[in-house]
Amino acid sequence: MTKKRKRQDDFQKVKLKVGKKKPKLENATATNFRTKTIHLPEQLKEDRILPTNNRKLNIKDLLSQMHHYNPGVKQSALLGLKDLLSQYPFIIDAHLSNILSEVTAVFTDKDANVRLAAVQLLQFLAPKIRAEQISPFFPLVSAHLSSAMTHITEGIQEDSLKVLDILLEQYPALITGRSSILLKNFVELISHQQLSKGLVNRDRSQSWMLSVNPNRRLTSQQWRLKVLVRLGKFLQALADGSSRLRESEGLQEHKENPHATSNSIFINWKELANDQQHIQVYENGGSQPNVSSQFRLRYLIGGLGNVDESLTSSESLKGFIEIIIPLLIECWIEAVPPQFATSVGNGIEREPLQVMQQVLNIISLLWKLSKQHDETHKLESWLRKNYLDDFKHHFMSNFPYTLKEITKHRRKDTNKSVKYCTILFNNVDHLLLNLTLSDIMVSLANASTLQKDSNWIEMIRKFVTETLEDGSKLNSKQLNRLLGVSWRLMQIQSNREATETLIKAVYTLYQQRGLILPVRTLLLKFFSKIYQKEELRSYRLRNRSRVLSRWLAGLPLQLSNLGSRNPELSTQLIDIIHTAAARANKELLKSLQATALQIYDPQEGTMVVLPTESQQRLVQLVYFLPSLHADLLSQLSRCCIMGRLSASLAVTLIGILHMRSSFSGWKHSLKDWLLSDMDYLSFLFSTLAGFSKEELTWLQSLRGVPHVIQTQLSPVLLYLTDLDQFLHHWEIAEAVCHSLLVISSRRQSFDVLQNAISKHLVGLTVVPDSTVGCVFGVLCKLLDHTCAVSESLLPFLASCCYSLLYFLLTLEKGEAEHLKKRDKLWGVCVSILALVPGVLKLMLQSLRVNRVGPEELHVVGQMLRLLLQHAPLRTQMLNNAVLVQQIIKNITTLKSGSVQEQWLTDLHYCFSVYITGHPQGPNALSAVY
C-alpha cells in the first residue's frame, strides 16, 4: 500500500465547530455607521421646464447631439440650436459656456455641411453676445480658430476664414489680442518654411516661400487673394485698436506738427466764479506719462522667431515685416510676371489687380503700424534701407497701373457695325491701387533724399496733380489717400512753386459742386492743416499761398449760403473761420465783414438756424469783426430778443459788444476797432425794450383780446407775454443793466436811458409786461442821488405802474403761467414807487374812483391796503396821506348804500394803523373816522 504525500492546499477550508462563533471575514463591511440625506432642490427639477424647439428638444438634448458620430445628426443639432435660441434668446446667457465650447469644437469637423451650419450659428450668435460676455471664453474660441486655420484639410482652412470674418466684425479688440498666433497662421496659409540645414542660421526672410497646393479647388492666386483680404482686415483692426489706445492715453504725436495738441475745455466764468465748476489744469494739457516697459501679460512663445509679442513693439513688428514683405513681393511678381511687363501698359485683368491691391493695402497698414511705434524714426530708416530698391524695381517700373477692359461682341442688327460693351468689375479700384502705392513710396522719402528719389517722386507728383485736376468724382477713401500723398509731397519738397501747384490742384477739386459730405470734410481739413502749418512759421519766413488766401476768403460766403442744410459741414466751416479770424487774417476778416449781415440775419441767418454749439462759435466771431455798424447791431439785437438764441448766448453777445465798446476800459491802438458809443447805447436800449419798433406798432392795434389787460383808470394797456419769453427777456435785461452800470458816469447813463424811453415808449397805449418790468428794474438800479427823473416821464411811469399792479391783483390761481411773474413784477413796482416819489403821487392822483365800476373799485382798495402795509412805502404814503384819505373817503361814499364788505373794513383798519395812528401823522386825519 502506497504512502500518501502531504501537500499544502492553496485555499484551506476553515472547519466550523458547533457552539463557536463564525470568524469575521477580512473583507467584511462595517455596518455600524449612520447616514443623513442631502437635499438639492435645484438639481431635482425636471428638464421639462427648459424651453424646447419645434422638435421638442431642449438645450441639453441639442448640445448632447453635437458629439454624435453621424454628421447629419450634428448638422440637425446645430440648426435646431439656432431655431431654439432665436425663439428664446435668454438661453444664450444661461448656457453661454456650453454653447461656445460645443459650437467652436465643430470648426474642424470633417463634414462640410456641419461646418457650414456652425458658421451660420456663430453668425447668428455673435451680434447677440457682448464683448465682455464672451471675453472669458475667447481663448477657447481663438484656439479652435487657430486649429482650423492650420488644419491639413483644405476645406477646413477655407471655412476658418469665414469664422475669422465674423470675429473681426463683432470682436475686433479680442481677436487682435491673439495676433501673435494668428499672424503666424496667416503666413502658414500661403507659404511654408524651408527645412534645409543650410537655411537654419540664415535670415528668416529667406526661410519662407509661397506654397502651391494642386488639390485645392481654388487656384493658388485665388486662395492667396482670400487670405490676403483677411490679413488686411486683421491688420486694419490692429491699427485702429492701437490708435484708439494711444489716443486714450494721450500719447499720439504728429510728426509733421512738433507742437503738442491739447484737449480744450469750455469754461463758464459765471459758474467758475461761484465755485460751481472745478477745472483740472494739467489733466487737460494733452500729455500723459509714458511708461516704457517690456512687461506683457501672458507672454506667448511662437514659431516666428521674435514675432511672439504680437505687434506691440518695434522689434516684433520688424520681425513680422521681414517675413511677410518677401512673400508679398512674390505674390506681386506672380500677379505681374516680368515677362509680361511690356503689356502692362495696356491694363491688368481683374484678379491680378485685386491681388496687387491687397498686397499694397497690407504694406500700407504695416507702415501705419510702424509710424505708431517709430518715435525716433529708426524704423523708417530701416524700412527705406531694406525695401526701397525692391519697391522701385517691382512696383514703380510700370506705374501707374490701369484696369484692362474685357469686351464682348454684341450684334443688334446685321446691317449695323459691331459695337463693344465694357464689363465693369466690382471690388477693383485701380485709382486706389495707384494712390496706395504712392502713399507707400512717399513715406520712404524725405527732404534729405530728394535728389536721390527725384525720378520716381516726379512720377508720383505728376500722377497726383493729374488726378486732382481731372475733375472726376472721388470717394472719401480715394481722396483720403490722395490728400495724404499730397501732404507728404509738400513736406518733402517745400518750395513755393511745388506746393502752390499741388494746392491749386486740390482747390480745383474743392470748387466742384455736389461733393458728398465726407469728401468736402476731407478737403476742408486738408486746407485747414496747410493754413495752420503756415501760421506756425515765423512772420519773416511766412510765405502765404495765394490759392490758400482765396480759399479762406470764400469760407464766410459758403457758410452763409449753406445755412442749416448741412449742420456738420457748417460747424467745420465755423471752426476754420474762427481760427483764421483769431489770427487776424485780413482776407478772411474782410470777407466776414461783407457777409456778416447774411450770417447774423435774425430771420433766416446762419446763426439762428444752427445748433447751440455752432451758435456759440458765431457769437464769439462777433469780437473779431473789423466794424460793427448800426445795421449789424440792429440785427444782433433782434437775434437776442427773438429767442432764437438762448439767454446765456445772448448775455455772452452783450458782454462781447461791451468789450468792443469804449466803456470797457481797454486802450485800443486803432479807433476803427472801437464801437460807436451811440450805436452801442442804441443796441442796449433795443435789447432792453425786447420788441422791435414794428412789433410795438402792431401791438397798438390790439383791443379786446385775452392777452391785453385794460383798466378804466390807466391809459396804458398791458400786453401779457408768454412765460418763456418773459424769463428770456428778464435775463437779457439784467445783462443790459450790468453793461449800463459799468459806465463811469452814472448820470449820463441814466439820462440816455430816460431819453430813449421818452422817445420810443412814451405815447404807446399797449406796452408788453416784460418791457415795463425790465425798464423799471434798470431804472431802479441806475437811480442814485445824482440822477433826476424827467417830469415828462413820470406820468407814463405812473400809468404803467398802476397797470402792472392791477394785473397782479387780478391774477387768478388758474393762471399758473402768469403767477410765476408775480414776484419779479411786484418787486420792481414797489422799488420804482419807493425810489421815485413823483410816480407814487401821480398814480394816487389818477385814482379817480368815481369813474370805475365795482370790480375795479375792489382792486383799488386792495392796492391801497397793500401799499399801506409795505414798509418801504410808508414814508411816501405818509407824505401823500391827504390823497390817500380822499381816495378812501370816496370809496366809502360809493359803498355807503350797501353792506360794508370785508376788504373795505381791512382798508380802514390799515389806514388807522399806519397813517392815523402814526405819531408823525397829521391831526386832521382823525376827523375822517
> Does residue 531 sit in the same domain as residue 597?
no
Kindly state whether residue 773 falls inside one of the protein's structural domains: yes
Q: Check: pTM over 0.85? Answer yes or no.
A: no
Q: Where are the beta strands (DSSP E) in 228-295?
A: none
Examine the fold and report which residue of 214, 242, 271 is the final residue of a domain before the chain moves on: 214
Domain boundaries, position 473: 428-540
Kindly state whether residue 201 falls inside one of the protein's structural domains: no
Query: Taking 60 as the threshold, does the pLDDT of residue 482 lie above it?
Result: yes
> Does residue 548 sit in the same domain as residue 532?
no
> Does residue 462 sit in the same domain as residue 557?
no
Relative orientation angle of helices 677-689 and 630-641, to the nearest 10 degrees:
20
Q: How far apart are CA 58 and CA 494, in angstroms?
A: 71
Please report how many Cα atoms fall inside a 13 Å half-sphere around the Cα of residue 591, on the Cβ side: 20
Place of cell 430778443: 641
Rounded mean pLDDT, 43-50: 59
The pLDDT value recorded for residue 107 is: 92
Most confident of 79-88, 493-502, 903-912: 79-88
Kindly state whether residue 656 falls inside one of the protein's structural domains: no
> Does residue 811 sit in the same domain as residue 711?
yes
> Does residue 588 sit in the same domain as residue 691?
no
Q: Confidence band (pLDDT; 50, 70, 90) for 674?
A: low
> Does residue 748 sit in the same domain as residue 891?
yes
> Does residue 710 sit in the same domain as residue 845?
yes
Q: What does DSSP assign to residue 56?
A: S
Query: Taking 50 as the threshold, does the pLDDT of residue 98 lie above it?
Result: yes
List % helix, strand, coil for the chain (3-state, nearest 5). 65, 5, 35
Place of cell 425790465: 774
The pLDDT value recorded for residue 346 is: 52
Examine the fold and report which residue of 540, 560, 594 is the final residue of a domain before the chain moves on: 540
Examine the fold and report which residue of 214, 241, 264 is the final residue of a domain before the chain moves on: 214
The pLDDT value recorded for residue 518 is: 86
Relative orientation angle of helices 517-536 and 476-492, to the nearest 10 degrees:
20
Share of the chain above pLDDT 70, in %: 81
Kindly state whether residue 807 falls inside one of the protein's structural domains: yes
Q: How far apart are CA 665 and CA 208, in angstroms?
A: 77
> Does residue 904 sit in the same domain as residue 790?
yes
Rounded mean pLDDT, 238-250: 63
Q: Confidence band (pLDDT; 50, 70, 90) for 399?
A: confident
Please report how many Cα atoms fall inside a 13 Å half-sphere around the Cα of residue 140, on the Cβ side: 15
Cell of 786: 445824482
Q: What are phi and psi of 763, to 5 degrees?
A: 105, -15
Query: Taking 60 as the threshold, does the pLDDT of residue 425 lie above it?
Result: no
Better pLDDT: 46 or 505: 505
Which tens digits make up the pLDDT trace of 153-198?
Answer: 889 999 999 999 999 999 998 998 888 888 898 988 888 877 654 4
The pLDDT value recorded for residue 919 is: 43
Non-local CB neighbours of 788 within 8 Å, separated by 6+ positions: none
Query: Taking 50 as the threshold, does the pLDDT of residue 926 lie above it?
Result: no
Least confident of 49-53, 445-449, 708-712: 49-53
H/E stretch holding 409 reads strand 407-410
> Does residue 599 sit in the same domain as residue 508?
no
One-letter amino acid for residue 13 of the chain: K
Kindly state whether residue 344 falls inside one of the protein's structural domains: no
Which tens digits make up the pLDDT trace of 778-824?
Answer: 999 988 888 888 888 999 999 999 999 999 888 876 677 788 888 89
Most confident of 634-643, 814-823, 879-888: 634-643
Cell of 408: 464682348
> Does residue 613 sit in the same domain as residue 484?
no
Kindly state whether residue 342 falls inside one of the protein's structural domains: no
Q: What does the angle CA 812 – CA 814 – CA 816 come to, to the nearest 5 degrees?
A: 95
Q: How far apart are CA 892 and CA 928, in angstroms?
A: 11
Query: Taking 50 as the threshold, does the pLDDT of residue 260 lie above it?
Result: no
Buried b (16+ CB within 10 A) or exposed e, 570-601: bebbbebbebbbeeebebbbebbbebbebbbb
Query: Taking 50 as the threshold, does the pLDDT of residue 300 lie above it?
Result: no
Better pLDDT: 140 or 666: 140
Cα 862 to Cα 103, 868, 885, 901, 927, distances in angstroms? 85, 10, 15, 12, 23
Q: Confidence band (pLDDT; 50, 70, 90) for 312?
A: low
Rounded mean pLDDT, 250-256: 39
The pLDDT value recorded for residue 537 is: 66
Kindly state whether residue 10 falls inside one of the protein's structural domains: no
Strand-strand pairing, 766-768 and 419-422: unpaired
Q: What are phi and psi of 366, to 5 degrees?
A: -65, -35
Kindly state whether residue 350 falls inside one of the protein's structural domains: no
Q: How far apart are CA 405 and CA 177, in angstroms?
A: 42
Please, where are the H alpha helices in 249-304? 269-273
CB contact at 8 A, 387 and 258:
no
Structural domains of the chain, count:
4
> Does residue 907 sit in the same domain as residue 808?
yes
The pLDDT value recorded for residue 777 is: 92
> Does residue 788 sit in the same domain as residue 885?
yes
Considering the chain, what is the average pLDDT of its residues?
80
SS3 709: strand
Q: How far apart are CA 115 and CA 104, in angstroms?
A: 10
Query: Taking 50 as the threshold, does the pLDDT of residue 286 lie above it?
Result: no
